Amino acid sequence: MRWIQKRLRLPAVRRGFHLITDLLVAELPELEQLRVGTAHFFIQHTSASLSINENADPTVRHDFEEFFNRTAPENAPYFHHTQEGPDDMPAHLKAALLGTSVTIPITNGELALGTWQGIYLGEHRNHGGRRWVVVTLMGE
């Protein structure tokens, strides 16, 4: 059994949902050494998220953003946590709903994602900045 852990810095992106699968895999040459295993991706932030969904049609990512903006609107009168701006509390809620990690099987040196699956970075702040992701690979 082999364990590999890396901390990857993502580029700053605009608010919304972004496919980052290729970006992550490009930083993980060690993945190719594993015949079978698991890859765990964890984002170290409370206002951004990771999820797996549609990797082909960009309108899905647009619709995600629209849905979550309506589900957790800015300037809701019931929010008390407002000192960091109107996008902060909704960002925390979106991250809590979507989650901070994804786990994917590794098969023959590749992530065993389905044909239409990709890893999304949900950037829920207007100016979230660069984000950190801790990746743990385990396998043989």
Q: Report if residue 56 sits inside a domain.
A: yes
Residue pair 60/121 in contact (Cβ under 8 Å)? The answer is: no
Does the pTM surpass 0.95? The reply is: yes
CATH classification at residue 104 = 2.60.120.460
Q: Could you tell me if residue 22 is inside a domain?
A: yes
- The SS3 assignment for 9 reads strand
For a pLDDT cut of 70, what percent of the chain falls above it? 100
Per residue in 80-114, pLDDT tens? Answer: 999 999 999 999 999 999 999 999 999 999 999 99
Please indicate, yes or no, if residue 80 is contained in any of the structural domains: no
Domain coverage including residue 54: 2-72+85-139
Tell me which residue of 44, 49, 25 sits closest to 97, measured CA to CA. 49
Burial of 133 from C-beta contacts in 10 A (0-12 / 13-18 / 19+) = buried
Query: What total number of domains does the chain contain?
Result: 1
Residue 15, domain member (yes or no): yes
Q: Confirm whether 79 is domain-assigned.
A: no
pLDDT digits (tens, 9 = 90+) for 35-64: 999 999 999 999 999 999 999 999 999 999
* H helix or E strand, kind and range, residue 34: none
